A = this chain, B = another copy of it.
Amino acid sequence: MVDLAGLVDRARAGEARAVARLISLVEDASPRLRDVAAALAPHTGRARVLGLTGPPGVGKSTVTSALIAALRRRGRRIGVLAIDPSSPFSGGALLGDRIRMHDHTTDPDVFIRSMATRGHLGGLSLATPQALRVLDAAGYDLVLVETVGVGQSEVDIVSLADTTLVLLAPGMGDGIQAAKAGILEVADVFVVNKADRDGADATVRDLIHMISLGRREIPGPHWRPRVVRTVATTGDGVDELVSAVDAHHDWLVSHGELEARRTRRAADEIEAIALRTLRERLGHVRGDETLDRLSKQVVAGELDPYTAADRWCAGLRPDP
């Protein structure tokens, strides 16, 4: 039996192995997941969460690495969760990227962990919010959640992060075009990386134009996304990036939005856990054989899916 209180204490004292052990416990959805969550709760709420996303090839890991270095110079302790979109066919494809971050692995104030996405939904692992809570409780000032910006993960990262960075690079053409709508909605700060390349000016101009169009549709006071140019390989622009990130944080605090974002995040988390729990109870109470039988009746046209769902749910009822 793991001594959870002791493990949390050691994680809070800066012991990387204890942090890693706690993340493994939440990642494996161990039977003690609830105990771990309870032990972490009193220590959470302090870490700032930074989301970092963008299409493949923009230099996400290089930017992350440069950002870590800049934040370390400011004395901040950094946790990194690198989300690996995993698939039976592409398993360790991002390993090369991860290696770039290993510049920081000997620094005791930087903790880096790769997490696989699980399940067919393609989104962030269900364990990600829990891993975030581990790093928060362990006293990291800032947690970077980095993920490749393909589809769903962009949306998911927003629901986790206080501040979302969207990375682009010049000359990505149609990719940016296609991703525009989604990107505009999630970005608090745009990073045009590889800004020494041809086309950087055009990319920045496009973004600024896009932002000016988008903001008209948002009612009430709102943050106007910033656009920062970086050349992460040389470190150019990274200080400006940190300033933009801090400015967004200050804006969130002064407008009461930090609390609001975090409350929404907690609500999403509670809702996801609640629905998963209810799904498990359905399987337990009514059995998946019931679902199979109902599904066959729907296929045969004997039942419509709403009636089938009602019958399946009949075992769960509200308090009188």
| A-to-B contact residues, CB < 8 Å | 33-34, 37-38, 40-45, 55-57, 87-90, 93, 120-123, 129, 150-153, 155, 174-175, 178, 180-182, 184-185, 213-214, 217, 259, 262-264, 266-267, 269-271, 273-275, 277-279, 281-282, 284-285, 291-292, 294-296, 298-310, 312-319
Contacts and interface: CB of A to CB of B under 8 A. Distances in A.
Contacts of A277: 309-310, 313
Given A267-B295, A270-B298, A317-B317, 20 more contacts: A38-B307, A40-B304, A45-B300, A56-B174, A88-B185, A89-B184, A89-B213, A129-B305, A175-B175, A259-B299, A263-B292, A266-B295, A266-B298, A267-B291, A270-B294, A273-B308, A274-B313, A277-B309, A285-B318, A317-B319
A215 B129 CA distance: 34
B266 A306 contact: no
Contact of A262 (B152, B284, B299, B318): B299
A34 B307 contact: yes
A185 B87 contact: yes
Contacts of A181: 87-90, 93
Contacts of A307: 34, 37-38
A279 B153 CA distance: 23
A218 B302 CA distance: 34
Contacts of A182: 87, 122
A302 B262 CA distance: 14
B152 A318 contact: no
A109 to B, nearest CB: 23
Contacts of A318: 281, 284-285, 315-317
Nearest to A261: B299
Main secondary structure of the interface of A (DSSP, over half): helix
Contacts of A184: 89
A126 to B, nearest CB: 11
A121 B121 CA distance: 11
A173 to B, nearest CB: 10
B270 A279 contact: no
B185 A305 contact: no
Contacts of A316: 278, 316-319
9 nearest A-B residue pairs (beta carbon): A151-B151, A37-B304, A273-B309, A90-B181, A266-B295, A266-B298, A87-B181, A41-B304, A267-B295
A274 to B, nearest CB: 4
Contact of A274 (B266, B282, B298, B302): B282
A302 B45 CA distance: 10
B303 A41 contact: yes
10 contacts: A37-B307, A38-B306, A41-B302, A120-B155, A122-B155, A150-B151, A266-B308, A270-B309, A273-B305, A274-B309
